[in-house]
Amino acid sequence: MPDSPKVIAASSLAANPPTQNHLLGALSTEVQQRLFPHLELVSMPLAKILYESGDTLRYVYFPTNCIVSLLYVMENGASAEISVVGNEGIIGVALFMGGESTTSRAIVQSSGYAYRLLGQRLKDEFNLHGELLYLMLRYSQALITQMAQTAVCNRHHNIDQQLCRWLLLSLDRLTDNHLVMTQELIANMLGVRREGVTEAAGRLHKLKVIEYSRGHITVLDRPKLEKLSCECYAVVKAETDRLLPYKAIPSATQKSAALHHQCKHTLYL
């Protein structure tokens, strides 16, 4: 097992309070007090696979500053991204929806950290009080919206529009305008050829919307990116904001800060 605990760097913990995840931050102090002591900060390196299609899930993950893609991989190896999860969400909804596994893969698309929680701890909390469950369900509804819109987008929109949508979804989950991501990987996510992404990215570059080089992309003009994107981005954004009007809590409150230090000080790599 690669799950050997390591002593966490104090700086990592300090830079990644649990409340940086919108869902964890939106919980009442009471629930936070019960839950936070069971959270474990884990490193989320690029391309790490949290689970494969069919795996029995043990943990749910609450990203603080990483991005995880839910990816479906077909029998012939072709793939398509189903949805993307950052600090607004949770990975592993199948654990509380039932079935304990999914037909997709969860893979880190942008490195960072996440808090993980044993599925059983989550369920224990569900049984104590409805608050956490209801929040998880609202997030699941937002996830459903994103999946549905992905299906529509795959049917009707061209690569240029989808690339814009994809960049915006990533941007919303990052603190700056810089992505570490090759065109090859973007192509895997969108389920298109790498060359198609190269051409679309070239056009965006010509329009001075982005600049990029060897696995690094910088967004220069976000408003223009939104104009060039299909409606799918805005639809998902609006619905997510409606369902989850929570923002990250950048500087933790006194109380949250105290709870924060109750998280297990171990780092799982």
Partner DNA sequence: ATGGCTCTGTGCGTTATCGCACATAGCGGC
Partner DNA sequence: GCCGCTATGTGCGATAACGCACAGAGCCAT
Strand pairing partners for 68? Answer: 85, 108
In the region spanning residues 185 to 204, those forming contacts with DNA, defined by CB under 7 A, are 191-196, 198-199, 201-202
The answer to the question of residue 148 lying near its own copies (CB under 8 A) is yes
What is the nearest approach in angstroms of DNA to the Cβ of residue 217? 7
Burial of 213 (0-12, 13-18, 19+ CB in 10 A): exposed
Closest to 24 (Cα-Cα) out of 253, 267, 268: 253
Choose the one of DNA, its own copies, none that binds residue 72, judging by a C-beta under 5 to 8 angstroms depending on kind.
its own copies
In the region spanning residues 141 to 160, those forming contacts with DNA, defined by CB under 7 A, are 158-160
Q: What is the CA radius of gyration of the chain?
A: 18
Q: x-or-dash pattern for its own copies, window 68-107, by CB under 8 A?
A: --x-x-xx--x-x-xx---------xx-xxxx--xxx---
Choose the one of its own copies, DNA, none that binds residue 241, judging by a C-beta under 5 to 8 angstroms depending on kind.
none
The answer to the question of residue 154 lying near its own copies (CB under 8 A) is yes
Q: Which residue has the tokens 């790599």?
A: 269
How many whole angstroms separate alpha carbon 211 and alpha carbon 157?
23
How many whole angstroms separate alpha carbon 106 and alpha carbon 84?
9
How many whole angstroms separate alpha carbon 131 and alpha carbon 34?
12
State the Cα angle at 29 between 27 and 33, rounded to 5°. Answer: 100
The answer to the question of residue 145 lying near its own copies (CB under 8 A) is yes
Contact 57/99 with Cβ under 8 angstroms? no
How many whole angstroms separate alpha carbon 2 and alpha carbon 242?
39
Q: For DNA, which stretch binds (CB under 7 A), given 86-94, 98-106, 168-176, 181-189?
A: 181-189
The answer to the question of residue 81 lying near DNA (CB under 7 A) is no
Residues that bind DNA (CB under 7 A): 158-160, 182-184, 191-196, 198-199, 201-202, 205, 212-215
Residues that bind its own copies (CB under 8 A): 70, 72, 74-75, 78, 80, 82-83, 93-94, 96-99, 102-104, 134, 137-138, 140-141, 143-145, 147-152, 154-156, 191, 231, 235, 239, 242-243
